[in-house]
Chain A
């Protein structure tokens, strides 16, 4: 379809910025290309259906192919994971809402201008494959082992990072927790002889 023109006998077409909106009756008209939700929010207009949406996350613009993406998908666009970061909807009038990772966001919501991310204070770490909540920052090995009811006297804490296999951590040094860390435990079995 030729955009930005009026076809003979066809529907009225108007072009606004980057989006091309087929002006139809009601709110279920479909644009022929991706539309920028930020621009619609600034104009206070209803966001129409479209094959794709341009969405700002932390100031970067991404193409989203569904009007109802999950929070985790949007976080992933900026290389972040829900075990360490939260996604926050930003509206034109200053209202902000946290979006849970499994929550579906309606990109057509009036006034939604985009998203920002924030580092969580209580993050998720993984120990022996299971998720556990813990405060971000320096934590002791004992605190981490305590999540699985183990102690440094009985168990070694191993950390898996950078795609490398689990390596033992010194029990007397703090472990910097950012979120999403992967730990394993192994019974203590060695000592100087």
Chain B
């Protein structure tokens, strides 16, 4: 069951991410933005599978809600139809695909050598029981995450306050930046 759901969400994530970057049917930025929403929602599905329920909710609220509205607003503000007609440079496209593909293959092979069967065989016996007992316990419910944030001697109260100041600064900065030029 969990494996099937993982396959669905992972496939949806990667597919819609590809459609954000390179959509063969439409070069319109609005299409990209809407596929970005699909990506965010399937990522939050992955978060649910990983037991991070609070983060899944925050992901949908912040990304599919706030960030997407902002993106769509800006797309409509800029009126980008002219730019959509421009063609991609084929050489740069081929080079980009080659470079990124090579990077991904390196990453994949290093993953396989780290977590592959050959390297794990001797560790599995010792690790499996422990890891599974731990994995069952870690659930990112709102309560657990709040306790991790605010309680204990390794709480994150200071970073939390700094982030709130950062949000205030961002708000003031955005108002300043999007004001009409004083003449």
Q: Do A and B bind each other?
A: no
